[in-house]
A = this chain, B = another copy of it.
């Protein structure tokens, strides 16, 4: 019983409180966007005073930036000889069909999209997408317009995420992973050949 003290009166633990605020912020920002979320809401979710946000993160904006930072799964891009269709499959499974429960079921890119009215958010999105996934992806495609074709695949995956979790289009939302994978594979194949 030394593990979990009575849960209601939370112990004073800066690191744990900070982490709890970060989690709550992810959920709120996911649903409601940046402008639609107040620091009082986030603090209330954790059961803590709103002042702690300014104190621990500096400002609401810095909290947001830290909450939606996305790290590319290292395994994806490790092998430079891994074939493109393989990677596309993996991206479909992990990015589009991933559960992302930390963000209420949406990839951080979609979360940022929802707040892209804010220029700082837009920059963050641009950098993380272009210099993260896309650049690596384009390097594996052959031919002259490799970058364009890589971005088309990116657009497809991003668009699928939007359709599934924001628009809520019926077929894409309910289709199985395997059924979707087959069709996406066709598309990737159509772009892989030069």
Residue ranges of A at the interface with B (Cβ–Cβ < 8 Å): 31-33, 35-36, 113-118, 122, 125-126, 129-130, 134, 138, 145, 147-152, 154-160, 162-163, 166-172, 175, 179-180, 183-184, 186-187, 189-191
Per assembly, the copies of the chain total 2
A148 near B183 (CB under 8 angstroms)?
yes
Q: Determine how close the nearest CB of chain B comes to the CB of A114; give it in whole angstroms.
A: 5
Contact of A35 among B35, B122, B163, B179 (CB under 8 A): B35
Contact of A172 among B125, B152, B157 (CB under 8 A): B152
Q: Which residue of B lies closest to A96 (CB)?
A: B155
Q: Which residue of B lies closest to A164 (CB)?
A: B155
Q: In the complex the two chains form, what is the Cα distance from A148 to B177 in whole Å?
A: 12
Q: In the complex the two chains form, what is the Cα distance from A13 to B93 in whole Å?
A: 56
Main secondary structure of the interface of A (DSSP, over half): helix
B117 near A187 (CB under 8 angstroms)?
no
Say whether, besides A113-B113, A114-B116, A158 and B162 are in contact (CB < 8 Å): yes
A148 near B166 (CB under 8 angstroms)?
no
A190 near B179 (CB under 8 angstroms)?
no
Contact of A156 among B115, B122, B145, B152 (CB under 8 A): B152
A151 near B125 (CB under 8 angstroms)?
no
A180 near B148 (CB under 8 angstroms)?
yes
A171 near B190 (CB under 8 angstroms)?
no
B156 near A156 (CB under 8 angstroms)?
yes
Residues of B within 8 A of A152 (CB): 156, 160, 172, 183-184, 187
Q: Determine how close the nearest CB of chain B comes to the CB of A167; give it in whole angstroms.
A: 5
Q: Which residue of B lies closest to A158 (CB)?
A: B159
Residues of B within 8 A of A171 (CB): 138, 145, 147-148, 150-151
Residues of B within 8 A of A117 (CB): 31-33, 35-36, 114-115
Q: In the complex the two chains form, what is the Cα distance from A166 to B36 in whole Å?
A: 19
Q: Determine how close the nearest CB of chain B comes to the CB of A44; give it in whole angstroms.
A: 18
